[in-house]
Structure 1
Amino acid sequence: MAITGIESAGSLMGVSQSSAQSETSTGGNRIDMNGFLNLFLTQLENQDPTNPLESYELAAQLAQFSTVEQLSQVNANILKQKDYLTSINYGQMAQLIGRDVVAVDDSIQLTDGETSKSSYELNVSAEVSLKILDDRGTLIRTISLGNQESGTYEVEWDGKNDSGEVVPDGTYHVQVEAVDADGNFTEATQTVSGKIYALSLDQDNPQFIIGGPNGVKVSAGTISEVREMDGSGTV
């Protein structure tokens, strides 16, 4: 841990910079408890006898190092607990492999001309058009669907662009544009669904892979529904 004030202590006791560096660890200005105690004793031995340090100054230095040392131990314990809780969460999430789930996401996976299951829900009737975009945000296809009543609809896309050409397999995104009777844009809730194939273990953002080895990836926090193994209900 970095200890501030050591250089000032060294100047008070007349210890050279090279001597102070010999007491430090290989971490530059980082020293352990033994290094600090050696430096502290050297300070006592080399202090000016005509102007010795006051007891409160010595106590302040000891308190400073002790506080930092304790904080370092607390931080190490927190990191251990974090790793422990993360392993527990991973274990619980792994139990969802093989389950049918619904997740809030706008992705759609194209594989050999077949698409993964993607849906959207309208709260009011609206004129609807779907825009298919690739991972770079480039518009691939626009599908006009006309007026649709409120309800849930599946995205139907043949895997072709606006020119009628089959696009490469991969992950695409569906943008739903819905305009109500007053001419106002209305939001549509978009979901993907399918069976969880695998769990991608990323400590910052673990993701489930839905539908197969090259399926849609969704974050754990986006899952809104988990169904029983036989699809008879939700848990």
Structure 2
Amino acid sequence: MTSIQGAGQSGLSYLDQLKGMQEKKLQESQKATGQNELKQEDFLSLLTKQLAQQDPFKPVGNDQMIAQMASFATVDGISKMNEQFGSLNSAMTSNQALQASSLVGRDVLIPSSTSVKSAEGGMAGMVRLPEPLNNMMVRVENEQGQLLRTFDMGAKAPGEHRIEWDGKDESGNMLPEGRYTLKVAGLSGGESREFDVSTYANVNSVLLGNGSGSVMLNLAGFDSPFKLSDVLEVGQV
């Protein structure tokens, strides 16, 4: 029969003896069932047996018993809370995927100056200016970095401004379908500066991230998906 010595009767404190018994119980449980954790019922059963076998002349103090019971309750509470968080995360991810499915076929604004134009259409984007510009110049380049078109959008105040390109080159010819880049520059403090541009892209499909729980969007013309959380704006239907 396994017994627990009263506090002070051996070199180990009651809590140390209790910990040793728990570890031994865990090892036996692993061999028998292959499980690697004890449940609260196991702890309570072990504690009951230990209390029944303690030295009646040197019983365990109430504060030690309460502390140990509180420890068991805390461990069990954390375990249940982790399970609940896991279920909540799955539910939120599923809800996000359901909401994101309504974006299929719509345009979203993404933090990329490169996007895709259709064969008969153009491209649109957005630029944020931290200061006013006397003349905001827009450059259109192809995938090779070749300049195809420039146009002046005039004076602009600080803030967000929409950019629209009709898809034509300097001669008015419609350019073929493909990936193009929009760049914005202007004079600021007597020096030419470039500003970050975001562009609109069409959503082809929605998928869940690989093990990350993130909702991802497959966009037309992009090999890699974008996170739903990276979308800056949803275009109008």
The normalised TM-score by structure 1 is 0.62
- Are 1:104 and 2:110 matched, yes or no? yes
What are the ranges of 5 or more consecutive residues in structure 1 without an aligned counterpart?
A: 1-6, 134-139, 159-169, 229-235
1:207 aligned to which of 186, 199, 216? 216
Partner of 1:185: 193
The normalised TM-score by structure 2 is 0.62
SS in structure 2 of the partner of residue 102 of structure 1:
strand
- Are 1:34 and 2:45 matched, yes or no? no
Name the stretch that deviates more: 86-95 or 219-228. Answer: 219-228
1:91 aligned to which of 81, 93, 98? 98
- How many residue pairs match? The answer is 199
Contact 1:109 1:215 in 2 (8 A): no
Change (3 A) 1:208 1:117: farther
Amino acid at match of 2:219: I
Distance in 2 (alpha carbons) for counterparts of 1:81 and 1:205: 14
- Are 1:152 and 2:163 matched, yes or no? yes
Identical-residue share of aligned pairs (%): 17
Partner of 2:4: none
SS in structure 2 of the partner of residue 21 of structure 1:
helix
2:228 aligned to which of 220, 228, 235? 220
Partner of 1:44: 51
What are the ranges of 5 or more consecutive residues in structure 2 without an aligned counterpart?
A: 1-12, 155-161, 170-177
Change (3 A) 1:130 1:46: farther
Change (3 A) 1:48 1:175: farther
Contact 2:125 2:199 in 1 (8 A): yes
Alpha-carbon shift at residue 207 of structure 1 (Å): 2.3
Partner of 1:9: 15
- Whichever of the two has the greater Rg, that structure is 2
Q: Give the CA RMSD over aligned residues.
A: 4.2
